[in-house]
Structure 1
Amino acid sequence: MRVVFETERMKYSHTGLYYYCLNLGNALLNSAPLDMQLSFYHNERAELVFGDDKNYIKQKSIDKFLKLSWKGFDLYHANYQLSPYLPKKGKTKVVLTIHDLNFIAEGKTPAKIKKYLGKVQANIDRAVAVVAISNFVKEDVEKHCKLGNKKIEVIYNGSNIDPEKIKLASPESPIDGPFLFSIGTIAAKKNFHVLPFLLVNNNYKLVISGIIQEEDYYQKIKAIAKSLGLEDRVILTGPVSEEEKYSYLKHCSLFVFPSLAEGFGLPVIEAMSFGKKVLLSTYTSLPEIGGKEAFYLESMDANYLQDFATNKLEMIIQGEDRSDEIKAWAGQFSWETAAKAYWDLYQSILRS
């Protein structure tokens, strides 16, 4: 049986969807049943990250207009809720993974929200099975979309951190002195601009890594840091390699992630894989993913954050060592577990 795994979004490196496709794709390859052949629908200019000997179908920009039939393939797994590449008709069955409906919470116009919801709905209508990456996403989809008699299955993402590579992280800290660390696309929905307030009345530095998606927002973060007299302690690195990320995670005093819109929040699990304490917002999926082993910001008000920095931050950092418990929590999120769940789903569809 022939399965197509859509990796078109991997043309955008250093993003959550890139690493989702990379890690799940590799896990699927490693656990593929003997009667299943996996092919990757891969951008023609992207590196063949799964190995030169694997099955690739070249994705071209014009494909979204041509609407490929996918004749000869039994199942197509669309890994992006707004994907325009699903087979529109024919015998090929479709599995759709929905990562989030963040566009609803991002301040877009009602017309754009309606447009995007229409695209998601069309993909749901074409699919025979729908997967959400968290219970939060599942509930969001059930609230805003029409599922008919389709059931949404929740399959959690795994951690991108290779336990063996943790040992290879540099013993030398990349930053002089103690620091807080965060990582993600530099965009308003990540809410990074509140983090400089956590440096008030202490000596910590703040490192934020990630591609700059919104230049105005990048400048806003820098302006707030300057207004607080903290521009020398707020460091925006841009995108970093996996090795550099490991180094920041290993040596940071606390991982901070105040995002307002997360379908899952992979960076949280990455940090917890190192046994790091994490400080999160209470929005969307983060309480579900961080669970009882995380700390939470109850407000994004500047006065609250400065009071938190003064009276609570050091207590969290210097408090009880629960690194073993934190690692154990993170360990439940595995790409091997996710791949098994997806293969079980594929097989149940194709053998029904």
Structure 2
Amino acid sequence: MIIIDCEKMKYPNTGLFFFCDMLVRSLINENHGEFDLGFYVPGRYKGRWGESFYYKKKCLLDKIAVVSPAKCQLWHTTFQLAHYVPCNGKVLLTVHDLNFLYEKSDHKQQKYMAKLQKLVDRADRIVAISEFTKDDLIAHTDVGDKRIDVIYNGCNLYRGEICPPAIRPAGDFIFSVATVLPKKNFHVLPCLLQGNDLELIIAGNPSSYVDVILDEARRYGVEERVKIVGPIDESVKHWYFKYCKAFVFPSIAEGFGLPVIEAMAYGKPVFLSRHTCLPEIGGEQAYYFNTDFNRPLMQEEFRQGLDDYYRHEQERAEAIKAHALQFSWAHAARQYLDIYREMTE
């Protein structure tokens, strides 16, 4: 049996939730009965993917020690700072990012680095979700002679109903979605509304960083057109993707950036930072802001990018969609299954 750690699904509307959910669904589809699959889950998710699978529910005793069942050949830990890792058996570790190096104080960096190193030491093999993350991991931890594979996340092709928000934007709008934290760098975006009638919609779990974004909006006199709408349903998120003028994602700390690929799947122009993995994921089909986020230069980059896209909209949209579809959850699942096979032979 292979057990996939889905403990981080306790945080809905986050990248880790969607990573675990989409990976599990794709593993089930691509497995064709070869492996018995099991899932380590918060109690409320028991049975989420069908009653025929084994579910190990997280319990209070796991804080002392997690014991992998005797029938488990491999435990797949899906987060680089996981709290719950079995004390026995083989472990595959997926590393998403080392974002704490770019957003935490020195003291917290040391704390998280020690925890990451402990998990790297515990793992028998490692997967990074981008070449950038792999390079970061090698540069900052002692991986020894452990094999590190790169498996890109897939594109979340949404098949459900698309529903408009309760209050629709008044006109054209640009969109972004993520937990609203300083590392997402959203406060550089309000300047893009100067000299036009666009609205900026930011969706995601809020924090005190919202005040920084709104202060910047007031500085440019556009506060009435900056809407921070909080967490939203998938149906509403995809309405925003489908109808936005552009998707903007100036993050300075990413391991992959799933929303970027989701927006590109709709053929939308995406404007990204040049930091961390985003140029690797957006490739030549994305537009980029300058590395220093110089506001007048960003405004010009945004205007030129929109002009380029909408002068060749059909051609550009098709190329962007094709780029997004290179990132397949089915392909990612098959790569993970290959590793499961190699580690259990």
Tell me, yes or no, if the aligned pair for 2:68 and 2:75 is still in contact at 8 Å: no
Cα distance in 2 for residues equivalent to 1:300 and 1:234 = 19
- Identify the residue that residue 186 of structure 2 maps to in structure 1: 192
> How many positions carry a matched residue from both structures?
341
Q: What does 1:18-29 correspond to in 2, within 5 Å?
A: 18-29=17-28
Aligned counterpart in structure 2 of residue 265 of structure 1, from 247, 257, 260: 257
Tell me if structure 2 keeps the 8 A contact 1:253–1:317: no
State the distance in 1 between where 2:171 and 2:109 align. Answer: 44
- Per-residue deviation, residues 237-275 of structure 1 (Å, max 9, x unmatched): 101111101100110010100000000000000000001
Asked if structure 2 preserves the Cα contact closer than 8 Å seen for 1:70 and 1:87, the reply is: no
Q: Scaled by the length of structure 2, what TM-score is found?
A: 0.94
Maintained 8 Å contact 1:181/1:207: yes
Q: Which moved more, 1:240-249 or 1:172-181?
A: 172-181
Partner-residue secondary structure (3-state), 1:96 = strand
Name which of 344, 348, 351 aligns with 2:342: 348
Is 2:208 the counterpart of 1:211? no
Alignment partner, residue 300 of structure 1: 293
Q: Which amino acid in structure 2 is aligned with residue 115 of structure 1?
A: K
Identity over aligned pairs, percent: 42
- For residue 119 of structure 2, what is the aligned residue in structure 1? 123
Q: Distance in 2 between matches of 1:5 and 1:241?
A: 25
Q: Match for 1:290 among 282, 294, 315?
A: 282
8 Å contact from structure 1 (residues 254, 317) kept in 2: no
Please say if residues 130 and 152 of structure 2, whose CA atoms lie closer than 8 Å, have aligned partners that are also in contact: yes
Q: Confirm or deny: 8 A CA contact 1:22 1:49 kept in the other structure.
A: no
Q: Does 1:44 align with 2:38?
A: no
Q: Which position in structure 1 is the counterpart of 2:231? A: 239
| Cα distance in structure 1, aligned partners of 2:260 and 2:295 | 23
Q: Distance in 2 between matches of 1:62 and 1:113?
A: 28
CA distance in 2, matches of 1:115, 1:86: 18
The equivalent of 1:97 in structure 2 is 94
Deviations 1:195-233 (A, max 9, x none): 101111111111110111x22x11111121122221111
Q: Report deviation, 1:86.
A: 1.6
Task: Give how far 1:101 is off.
Answer: 0.4
User: What do the CA deviations read for 1:257-309 (whole angstroms, capped 9, x no partner)?
Assistant: 00000000000000000011100000000000000000000131233234445
Moved more, 228-237 or 68-77: 68-77
Q: Residues 296-342 of structure 1: CA distance to partner in whole angstroms, max 9, x if unpaired?
A: 00131233234445x53542452322111111100110110000000
1:137 aligned residue (127, 133, 139): 133
Is contact 1:198-1:308 (8 Å) kept? no
Contact 2:65 2:87 in 1 (8 A): no
Q: TM-score, normalised by structure 1?
A: 0.92
Distance in 2 between residues matched to 1:274 and 1:81, nearest whole Å = 31
Q: Provide closer, same or farther for how the CA distance between residues 185 and 148 of structure 1 changes in structure 2, counting only shifts above 3 A.
A: same
User: What stretches of structure 2 of length at least 5 have no aligned partner?
Assistant: none
Q: Does the 8 A contact of 2:90 with 2:124 survive in 1?
A: yes
* Structure 2 residue aligned with 1:221: 213
Q: What secondary structure is seen at the aligned counterpart in 2 of 1:17?
A: helix
Deviation at 1:52, TM superposition (A): 3.9
5+ long unaligned stretches in structure 1: none
- Whether the 8 Å contact between 1:180 and 1:255 is mirrored in structure 2 is yes
- The structure 2 residue matched to 1:154, chosen from 147, 150, 154, is 150
User: In structure 2, how many angstroms separate the alpha carbons of the residues matched to 1:68 and 1:323?
Assistant: 49
Distance apart, 1:114 and its partner CA: 1.5
Structure 2 distance, partners of 1:283, 1:61, is 39
> Equivalents in 2 of 1:61, 1:194: separation in Å?
42
Q: Distance in 2 between matches of 1:199 and 1:16?
A: 27
After the TM superposition, which of the residue ranges 126-135 and 298-307 deviates more from structure 2? Answer: 298-307
